[in-house]
Amino acid sequence: MNNILFKTILINDLKALLILLGIPAIFIFSLTIINRRTKGMLAASFGFKSQIYLGCFGIIIHELSHLVVAIIFGHHIQSVRLLKFPHVDPMNKEASDLSLGYVNHVWNPNSYYQVVGNLFIGVAPVFGCTATLLGLMHLLAPKSYEAVLTLAEAPSKMNFFSSLNTLLMPVGWWQPLLLLILTINIVIGGFDLSNADYQNSSKGLYTTIALIVIATSLLTFIGITSWLHELLLWFTTLSVILGYSLVLSIIIMLITLVLRHFRRGY
C-alpha cells in the first residue's frame, strides 16, 4: 500500500467517524447538558415532581424511543415503565429511586448486531423526540414545518427573509398554543439522557467505531468514495433538524431560568 492510498484511507476514516459519530455526539451532549439544567432548575424551584407534571409526554417518548430501538436490534425486553413518580428518601440517598421511567433489556454479547444496537438504543430519545417535534409541527404548523425542511435540505440556498415570512404566516390560535405546550413538555422530559443511557451506549461504541473504520477502509481501497458526499448531505440535514431541537432547548432553559429568579424574588 503506497503512502497516498494510506493517507486517503486515513482521511476518509476520520471523515466517516466525524460525520456518523463525532458531530452528532456534540449535539447529543449539548441537548443533554441544557435539558438536565432545565430539569434541575425545575426540581429546585418547584419540587422534584414538577419534572413529571411539565415533562410527562417527553418522558413517555424518551422511554418509547429506547423500547422501539431495542426491539429493532433484537434485544430481549425484561420490563418497561414509561412513566413513574420518583421516590426520594431524605434519610437514605442510596434508597432513593430518581428514575422517571425505564426500559430494562438484555442482549447477546456474541451478536455484533445486538452489541452495536446498544449505542443507538442509548441515544434513541434524542432522535425520537426530534422526530416527534417535527411530526407535531407538520400537523399543527405545516408552513413552519415546510420552512424547517427546506432549510434542512439546502441550508446554503435558503433565503432567510422568505423563510421568516413563511414562519410568520397567520394560523389559528389553538394550533400554535397546543404546539407550544407539547413542545415544552417534550423538551423538558425527553432530551435529558441519563448516566445509564450513556453507559449503555458505550457498550456498543467501540464495536461501531471498528465497523465504520473497516467498512470505510475497504470501500476506499477499492476506489468507492462517492458515498462520503451523500453522507455529508445527510449529515447536513440531520444537523439542521437537531439544531432545531437545540434552539428550542436553549429557549426553554432561559424561560425556566427567568421563572426561577422570579420565584426567588418572592
Task: Please tell me whether residue 250 adopts helix, strand or coil conformation.
Answer: helix
Q: Which three cell numbers stand for residue 115?
A: 452489541
Residue 182 lies in a domain: yes
d(CA 172, CA 184): 19
Tell me what pLDDT residue 78 has. 93
Tell me what pLDDT residue 69 has. 95
What is the tens place of the pLDDT at every residue in 185-210? Answer: 888 888 888 888 888 888 888 889 99
User: Residue 241 — pLDDT band, cuts 50, 70, 90?
Assistant: confident
Task: Please tell me whether residue 112 adopts helix, strand or coil conformation.
Answer: helix
Tell me what pLDDT residue 196 has. 83
H/E element holding 185? helix 174-190
User: Residue 171 — pLDDT band, cuts 50, 70, 90?
Assistant: low
Tell me what pLDDT residue 45 has. 80
Name the E strands within 71-142.
76-81, 102-106
Residue 158 pLDDT greater than 70, yes or no: no
User: Residue 169 — pLDDT band, cuts 50, 70, 90?
Assistant: low
Residue 43's identity, in one-letter code, is A
Look over the chain and give the mean of its residue pLDDT values, rounded to a whole number: 82
Q: Which three cell numbers stand for residue 5?
A: 492510498
Q: What is the DSSP letter of 157?
A: G
Residue 88 lies in a domain: no
Tell me what pLDDT residue 1 has. 58
Q: How far is CA 109 from the centre of its chain?
A: 25
What is the tens place of the pLDDT at every residue in 251-263? Answer: 988 988 888 877 6
Residue 265 pLDDT greater than 90, yes or no: no
Tell me what pLDDT residue 6 has. 85
Which of 27-31, 45-49, 85-89 bottoms out in mean pLDDT, i.e. has the lowest? Answer: 85-89
Residue 266's identity, in one-letter code, is Y
Contact 43, 170 (CB under 8 A): no
Contact 201, 119 (CB under 8 A): yes
Residue 233 lies in a domain: yes
d(CA 135, CA 241): 12
Residue 71 lies in a domain: no
What percent of the chain has a predicted confidence (pLDDT) above 70? 85
| Predicted TM-score of the model (pTM) | 0.81
Please indicate whether residue 162 or residue 127 has the higher confidence score (pLDDT): 127
Contact 241, 148 (CB under 8 A): yes
What is the tens place of the pLDDT at every residue in 85-120? Answer: 777 665 555 545 667 888 999 999 899 899 999 999
Tell me what pLDDT residue 114 has. 92
Q: Among positive and negative, which fits the CA dihedral 19, 194, 188, 127?
A: positive
d(CA 142, CA 176): 11
User: Residue 66 — pLDDT band, cuts 50, 70, 90?
Assistant: very high
181: containing domain: 3-45+118-264
Contact 232, 20 (CB under 8 A): no
Tell me what pLDDT residue 61 has. 94
Tell me what pLDDT residue 64 has. 95
Residue 225 lies in a domain: yes
User: Residue 217 — pLDDT band, cuts 50, 70, 90?
Assistant: very high
Residue 56's identity, in one-letter code, is C
Please indicate whether residue 234 or residue 172 has the higher confidence score (pLDDT): 234
Question: What's the number of domains the chain is made of?
Answer: 1
Residue 113 lies in a domain: no
